[in-house]
Structure 1
Amino acid sequence: MNGEAAFRRYADFDAILNSIYCAIFIVHTDGRAVYRNGAADELKAELGVTEDELIGALEAQIDIVHGQGRFAVAVEGGMIICHLLPWTQAGQRQGSIIVAHISGKERCSAQELDNVIDVLEEIDAILEVVADGIVVADKNGVIIRVNKALETTLGIKRRDVLGRSMEIFDREHSVCGELIRKMNEDPKRIVVSGTYKQKELLCTGAPIFDRQHRLKTIVISIQDMSALNTLRKKLEEQRLYTKSYMREISLFNGSGGPIVAHSPAMKKILHLVHVVADVESVVLITGESGTGKEVVVNEIYHTSRRKDKPFIKINCGAIPDTLFESELFGYESGAFTGARRQGKVGFFELANRGTLLLDEVGELSLAAQVKLLRVIQEKEVQRIGAAKPVKVDVRLIAATNKDLWSMVCQGTFRQDLYYRLNVIHIHIPPLRERREDIIPLVNYFLKYFNEKYGKEKEISPELYRFLMRQDWPGNIRELENAVETMIVLPSENKLTPSHFVGKGTGEDSGAAVKVQRLVPWKRAVEEMEKELLTQAYREYRSTRAMAKALEIDQSTVVRKMKKWGVGSHEKDKNDAI
């Protein structure tokens, strides 16, 4: 049972004791009356004596009956018949319980006395099993009861606080003191929190009033929140660790696969993707075909707060301009000839509270762009034939392999729509500009297709070097297809450059030199010189090895690299992404 329940039970017991006809006094061993019910106040009034006079007369007889029994006391206003019971707490005597009535008046029955004993014993039993520390004080702030849990929570002994003013907490326990000061100012239910001896405490105080709504008792619950808060912190740390781990493995549904981020450029992009996933901003993803734009989109979705909500993907280039509005916004029944009888929900409504991908957004016509812009601005759609629009809550991501700004300059893409989409821009560089990712990607596809087709193919060092030298105009998609072909077609398990089936856009593609068009001789020599140095640098990364392969002096290699900016150029590109 918690402190809240203890408050309710204590108030219930007070009501029970007040319903008993007999006067009930609970007297501490030091002579103070720490509790009295309503009948006790009526008894004093009827006898015309003060509380001190009445308690003094009763105390004189307590020692005579040795703390338990029946006795009579004569006072100025009459004769009082008393039943004396011991008041114990946690096995230790704290004082006496006196049940009294005036001689000649209606007497308390034995059953009523038993009820009193049962109620008081139940109060003690409940307070002792409550996990929170409990302090009970009278209207003057004198502590009359505490439980075992309080000793553990505050590190005190009950014998040191019973019978003392609650001001002791103000001096020694600042959290409790703050609560007591507030309750003295305004006796109502109050909750305060703070730290005591490196423990995080939650203190709740509640007043109990008599039938005349006068303050009678104060009950304070003190809960040690340290263990609970520690558990909460551990759970939060575990949640963050799990989220970080899931991001690291970066796995997706479908054929997207993982984001391979070994190059500096892709590491920066992966970090940006995870930052973007935690916000609701519109994201524009650009890059050549096959660079992995959809994989990045999937990563944003699967690590966002909307990962359990709808994820709708639209290929803008596949929707005819005449159907754009009905597909994206939907239509009502009978909106036009050929419309479905039940109408149709548009993609925006299907994606409500989720994520919507506008793939190939650069393919939209100017007319479609106007309609899309309105939805983004107003955050509402209106079905064809509908009387009023419907609000939608959609996280929007757009992707394209086109240069939208160039299209804006050419007048084929709206500038206002461009700025609406280009809130956060992620550009994925082509594979030829991040060659550090080629071998990790090859290994990923090798493992994937070996498992898919039940093969055990291996890639030779020569093939690795060959693949590294290719320019991959089709980017990751082309690389994936090339690896799959080499897994499926050759009968040999050891794959070499001879097994490569592709366009061969790198150094080893057929003739060592290919003439695309006529240019001045000097320019051709310079371009070839630069290309040779670039290819050699990509493969060897050492001027000594480059000189050996090109059969020239190392000093010549160094001089020419400096002249054409080979090496430093690639570093600058990676740093700029």
Structure 2
Amino acid sequence: MAKVAMLLPNHELMEPAAYAAALYHLDLVLIGIVSKENVRELSRNALQSGADIIIARGSHASLIRNYVQIPVIEIKITSLEIGLLLDQAKKLAQKEWPTIALTGPENMFAYIDLNSYEKNYQIHLLLRQFIEPEEMVPTAKQAIADGADILIGGGAIYQYCLSHSFPCVKTASGRESALEACRIASLISSALDQEKRHAASLKMLLDYTFSGIIHIDEHGRVLNVNRFVENMLMMESSAMEQMPVWRLIPGISQKLLKAVLEKQKTIHSISVSIEHSEFSVRISPILVDGQTAGAIINFYEGLTLEAKDAQQRKQLTKNGYTAHATFDRLIARSAPMREIIQKARYYSNFQQPILIIGEAGTEKQAVGECIHNAGSYRDNPFIRFNCNGYNPEEVDQLLFGKTPDGINPGLIYRGPCTLYLHEINRLSLYSQYQLFRQIQSSPLSPSTEQNRIRLIASSKTDLLPLVENGSFRRDLYYALTIMTLRLPPLRERPEDIIAWVDFYLRDLQAVYGKYIKLTEDARRLLAAYPWPGNILELRSVCSRILINCSGCYADAALVKQQLDFQPGPSRSEEDNSPSKGTFQDQKEAAIRESLARHHGNRTATAEELGISPATLWRWCKKYGIDRKEGKDIKK
């Protein structure tokens, strides 16, 4: 039952109010005498007592509403009680057709029919009402100035009239007005009790349902979730309230919601990926009188992806040759990144090589995985190879090596698969030549069906300057740049920063077993930081924030400490391309190796290196390579 507090203007109303409360079986938790001086204190006491409803009169009721958010019911003087006051005032005036001024707050009286009162009581009735308590005495003065013979008013007006020897009747609420106020309180109490029972039943139903449920409004914002969804997203329900559902579940697009909320269509069994798990989702509109009032989103656990080819997926997972990222989960709030994602989706339909360029720490590999999972190679391995992690001999063996018995073939022969070459700009010129040959023939050629390989390469730096200075083959450059994606650094797309912060904090909460919330100052500080290390740096900072936060909230001071810990960019990071000396050494070694393989034949060497004989002659002269280089090596 809802709890009720009564804050009354005087002791005279105490007995009839208590009688009315008992008659309507109200659960009284507080009854007290309120004044202008103690109204705030008594309002706070009512809330602390657990009151769901407050009953008060006149200006006190108006003041109480400034301090509470629960229903405040006004005790209004009824028509019968007004009649009794008018009869008392007429007798006190001792004249025929006296002019009586009825004064009080606008919410003091029930409906007043002036003509009926004047006719029935043979009086002239002036109704003088006010809003603010400070207006009481000025209202009394004005009523007297308007020709009133006697006033009817509350305590302040009554005291004013007594001090000026002017006739006055003090307004009083009796049993009838108390009964009416308690009747209304009883109705509201029943409604609140019913709402509480409904909410408790709904929560029980939601929490013990063996599927996830999100209730959204007509704008797609979250109203309620059950415990299944809290565990699924590793977030408390309060943190999700009023959040657009497409931000919580990237797989549920705004376009999809539009079909449900505007066209009133039910979406059956779409698949979304959440925290590396697959869920089947159903979205149903809520219709009230033919209008959409929101929707219910149901999540059912499933193994949709694994069921396609369980044995193959098991083997790929065991070997680590899987791509986890998908376009639905890749964060892209900024316009430049959305454009990149749109282009990457389109590129996933083609088999030609793709080059992804972006600073260290950007989402190059993630975009590559998304392309793999969106294309026809999705059920095949995704093999990552870091071109900067091995010396040239190891690169050649790992990529292109093949033993006579074929037991340990190089990666280039392990199709069908997607081969992701990280930092392709670090390949030696000889390895570049080998790779170009493979692109032009089996198995990288799109025309070859057997053992086809989808090539995706990435680089921290633009390859064209490397082509111009001779450290990257021009023919390989042309082969790789048919489809090129340039990822902007995180500092150029601030809309994505906080989205990535929220993503990683949610992701890391399961790892560290704790939950924190960033203050608004902390979020602004993170959004303003330039992130020279991009996503890799951001994830590291999120880990440190989560580990070093001792409470539930991470403020700007804590975040600044973690950002101050970040080292400045190293010289090698500021200049993504290798130094001039490195290029020269690499180029000279490549020339000497090629001349040795071709026994000093410069025409064959120039062809292998992808340069003209004249360019080879200039390079040999520059590096002091003798004309007889390689000729002394016999077949």
Instruction: Please tell me the TM-score bracket, short chain as reference.
Output: 0.3 to 0.5
- TM score, norm. by length of structure 1: 0.40
How high is the TM-score relative to the length of structure 2?
0.37
